[in-house]
Amino acid sequence: MSGMPADPAAVHSSLTMALPRVQVTREASLRSILGSQRGGVCERLAEIPKKAVSGAASLRQVVFERLLRDLESGGAMTLRQPKRARARIKRIVEDSQKRGLIPALHGSERQQLEDELYSELLGFGPLDRLLADPAVSDILVNGPDSVWVDRYGKLEATNVRFDSNEHLLRLVSRVVAAHGRHLDEASPMVDVRMSDGSRLHAVIPPLVPATTVSIRRMRAVRWQLEDLVAVGSMNLAIADFLSKAVAARFNIVISGGAATGKTTMLNVLSSAIPRHERIVTIEETAELDFDHPHVVSLEGRSANIEGRGEVSLRELLRGALRMRADRIVVGEVRGSEVFDMLQAMNTGHAGSLTTVHANGPQDALRRLENLVLMGGFELPSAAIRELLGASFDLVVQVSRFADGSRRISSVHQVALSGGHLGTQELFRYEGRLRGSDGAGVQSATMVGEHVQQELPEDLRTRLVAAGLLVEDRGRLATE
């Protein structure tokens, strides 16, 4: 499971620390009865009062408490071997039934309980089945009783539930602790890159009424350019042009709103970077997954609880300039690091790529200009626009449409003329919703096509000079 800890001791510690407050009395009595026996199976279980237990959540809670006590008394090393962990869970379930702590279970009921316990111990509990669904791109938990998923660009409510907010918090705290982070009142918000590449963002009270979790899934199989063409995100002409633009060392910014596929597009375009070049990627939380033999991934770091140890993207960018990078790729610019990135693009790092949150190509350039100003750099707006015009060649706008599909909505060339920073459209998507039949956009499908404009002479000249295009009777043709 993604987020599975590497250190069993850390798992056990985080499990114990994150136990629900309402269980303190119960755990204290268990500890006093169980003691610290080394074998894990206590000889005095008969002394525990036999209480009637009903409901899957209650069954799981009772046996899980026993499992934690078992680990506490010498079984933490079991976590290194999943088969041994399952065997230990099975033994504890059998013993709990013999002692009358839980009702007798048979067949599928017992297997379900054992699977749930395993997920509680080494997985993500109720979310495991969603994490195993390849169609799910985002998992959104708005508290213990509200879990949503994004399937193919559309949000859907699920029937997944947690026992309580404490149950949810315990699971999130364990996953976060396994990656060297923590959640508490002093640090109520955290970003974590899970072991499978997925990104987890969690917020706990008092910032929110109940623990809130957002998981952005990492696709198991990398998207390729031909995959995006096949699903209609772009056509062959755009794929051919962008791959050549990357190879010819155009500086490209990918613009779009939330969940429009900016990172996916960045990953895909990286495949056009020549294999002999050295790439340095810079991100706040590592998400990029390049299919390239020479990649150095730098990841920022937040300050610790004492307010020390922070490493900003700006510091990483400065460090990247000393790493003999052919290309510098910034996962997303959202602060003063944009100025250092622009400087790098103009000082020998052509062919760099980045993303920015914006609703359109012009908005993207305005946002980049505002980020420079907000960084405290005392430069006139005209100078900033000139720097942007000299740095970026293309803006690729990606959008999520009403039917959930994600496409390149336009590709623009960045142009600076007479001190005015503007763009010239090269490609655009023209489409409309069809098939709603009065049922609303949820059942509709976007139908349309990408339209190509004539390629400007300066771009054609650069591509020809790079040996990527040849002239054929006055028109461009692929070699």
What are 375-384's pLDDT values in tens digits?
Answer: 888 889 899 9
Q: Both 177 and 115 in a single domain?
A: no
Q: Say which residue the tokens 């680990």 belong to.
A: 71
Q: Both 271 and 374 in a single domain?
A: yes
Of 80, 107, 123, the domain-final residue = 123
Q: Both 49 and 73 in a single domain?
A: yes
Tokens matching residue 463? 């591509």
**Per-residue model confidence as pLDDT tens for the chain (479 residues):** 444 444 444 444 444 433 333 333 333 333 332 333 333 333 333 333 334 344 555 666 666 666 666 655 555 555 556 677 777 777 777 777 777 777 777 777 777 777 777 777 777 888 988 998 989 999 999 999 999 999 988 899 999 999 889 889 988 998 888 888 888 888 899 988 888 888 999 999 999 999 999 999 988 788 999 999 999 999 999 999 999 999 999 999 999 999 899 999 999 999 999 999 999 999 988 889 998 999 999 999 887 777 788 899 999 999 999 999 999 999 999 999 999 999 899 888 899 999 999 999 999 999 999 999 998 888 898 999 999 999 999 999 999 998 889 999 999 999 988 778 999 999 999 998 887 555 555 667 889 999 999 999 999 999 999 888 866 544 444 44
Q: What are the CA-CA distances from residue 336 to residues 8, 147, 343, 346, 370 (Å)?
A: 40, 35, 12, 17, 10
Tokens matching residue 284? 């706040």
Q: How far is 367 from 24, CA to CA, in rounded Å? A: 51
- Domain span holding position 306: 225-478
Q: Both 145 and 246 in a single domain?
A: no
Of 184, 218, 252, the domain-final residue = 218
What residue type is 415 in one-letter code?
A
Tokens matching residue 233? 């995100």
Q: Both 118 and 151 in a single domain?
A: no
Q: What pLDDT score does 326 carry?
A: 94
Query: How many domains are contained in the chain?
Result: 3
Determine if the peptide bond prior to 206 is cis (ω within 30°): yes
Instruction: Centre a 10 Å sphere on the Cβ of residue 403 and count the other Cβ atoms it contains.
Output: 20
Q: What pLDDT score does 142 carry?
A: 97
Show the CA angle centred on residue 383, arms to residues 361 and 386, nearest 5°.
45
Q: Both 184 and 209 in a single domain?
A: yes
Of 100, 123, 146, the domain-final residue = 123
Q: Both 213 and 94 in a single domain?
A: no
